[in-house]
Amino acid sequence: MKRIFWFATCVVVGVLLTSGPAAAASATFTASHTSVRPGTEIVLRSVTACTVPAGVPGPPVIRVALIRGTTVLGSGSVTTSSGAAWTARLTVDANATPGSAELTATCLANAQAEGAVVDYDHVSITVMSALPKTGSQTSLLAVLGAGLLFVGLMLGAIGARRRTSPGRLASLNEPE
C-alpha cells in the first residue's frame, strides 16, 4: 500500500513539475504576405475573435502595426463587433529598409480604452528591398526617332524635287 501511495505521489508531483503554469489560449491572426516590399498592402485576418467583457461600452477596435524594434513601418486600425472575426489592412512604408519585422495586432475594448483586451501573437515578416527600376527612357528615344523620320522625309522630298525639275527633264529628253 505504501508503494502505491509513493508511486501516486511521484506521478502527481511529476505532472505538476512538468506542466508549468496554466497559460491562456493564444490569440492568432493570419497575414496575406510574409515577405513584402515597401509599398505593399498586407491584409490581416483574425483566427481568434476579439471578445470584450460584458457591459463594456463601445465596439472593439483592432490596432495593427508592422514594427522593427521601436520603428513603425506601417499601421492601421479597424472597428469590429465583440466576438466577430475582423480584417484589417496596412501598407508597408515606402521608405522601409530590408530586414526582419513583426506584425502585431491588439484588440482594445473601445477607441478610448488604454489596455488590451486581446494581445495577438506576433507574425514574423521579411521586408525585402524595393524593386529596381527597369526599362529605359522611351520618351527620349521617341523624340529622336520622330526627328530622324522628319529628316528622312525632307531628304526624300528634296531628292524627288531634283529629279522632276524642268531643266533636268529637258536635258533628259534631248537626243545625243
Does residue 5 carry a pLDDT above 50? no
Radius of gyration of the chain (CA): 37
* Helix, strand, coil distribution of the chain in percent, nearest 5: 30, 30, 40
What is the tens place of the pLDDT at every residue in 68-89? 999 999 999 999 888 889 999 9
The domain segmentation of the chain, as residue ranges, is 26-127, 134-163
What average pLDDT does the structure give for the chain? 78
What is the tens place of the pLDDT at every residue in 93-125? 999 999 999 999 998 888 887 777 889 999 999
Q: Under CATH, what is the fold of the domain 26-127? A: Immunoglobulin-like (2.60.40)
pTM for the structure as a whole: 0.59
- Give every CB contact of residue 32 below 8 A, 6+ residues apart in sequence: 41, 42, 43, 44
In this prediction, residue 87 carries a pLDDT of 94
- In DSSP terms, 65 is beta-bridged to 75, 104
What whole-number distance in Å separates Cα of residue 34 and Cα of residue 44?
A: 11
Cell numbers for 61: 477596435
